[in-house]
Amino acid sequence: MERLQKVLARAGVASRRKCEELILAGRVSVDGETVTQLGAKVDPSRQRIAVDGVPIALEQPVVLVLNKPVAYLSTVSDPLGRRTVMQLLPPIRERVYPVGRLDYDTSGLLLFTNDGELTQRLLHPSREIEKVYRVSVRGIVDRETRRALMEGVELEDGVTAPAKVEVLRQADGEDGVAVVHLAIHEGRNRQVRRMFERLGLPVLRLKRIAFGPVSLGHLKTGEWRVLTPDEWVALYQAAGMTPPPYRRPTIRRESERKATARSSSRERNSRRD
């Protein structure tokens, strides 16, 4: 028997915290009866679990890596019709979601998975999972700047945790461009940009090149790949979880794609009505 919110997260419904909200809102049922208690335990192999009346399916976990371009939103959908990272993924059967976000004007490594518990653990501050960024800034990254980054920069929402700093290219002058590798384990909104701007160094370009044990490598902008078996094990271990059996995502057949497209079209039309 497992906690209901854990089963929902493992099925790719949402993060565990979001699944808890669904339960409390009375949107989850077990064997036809609404369940609103977070401590409820279920047997997903024997019981019928549904969200808003739709039965869940326990998918096997998959993880994808995308080299996100700028000018894409790190969301599943956008009510304004703007481009999202989901449009760059292959047509797979598993319902994957971004692990965290990259800003609209930030590029680089973005993970996707249908494992809600993995997502929650990777993003939880207590895990202190390191993210590495390649940052191009206007100005000189001098000794005082490096010290400030390594000791913590005071922002409006508090002092940042110590960062690791490597200067790859120094600017010739105040109007020149310096390139830095910055490793942090926090995930505040627009944190890297705010850190450098607080130190008087406007960010010209920002790209995430690593998330924990997973690196971008030679993956081209806009392209995706699956984790290698070694990355799979290392990522789950970094999250403090026992790695499940390694799996590649399942590509949909053409007939499935057309059926999904028709279903999405009907759903959009029903919303207009």
Q: Which residues are the active-site residues?
A: 103
The region that residue 217 occupies, defined by phi over 0 for left and psi between -120 and 50 for alpha, beta otherwise, is: left
For residue 153, the number of C-alpha atoms closer than 13 Å in the C-beta half-sphere is: 25
- The CA angle 144-145-147, to the nearest 5 degrees, is 65
Question: Considering just the CA atoms, what is the radius of gyration of the chain in Å?
Answer: 21
Say how far apart CA 115 and CA 96 lie, in whole Å: 8
Measured CA distances, 247 to 98, 168, 243, 244 (Å): 18, 37, 11, 9
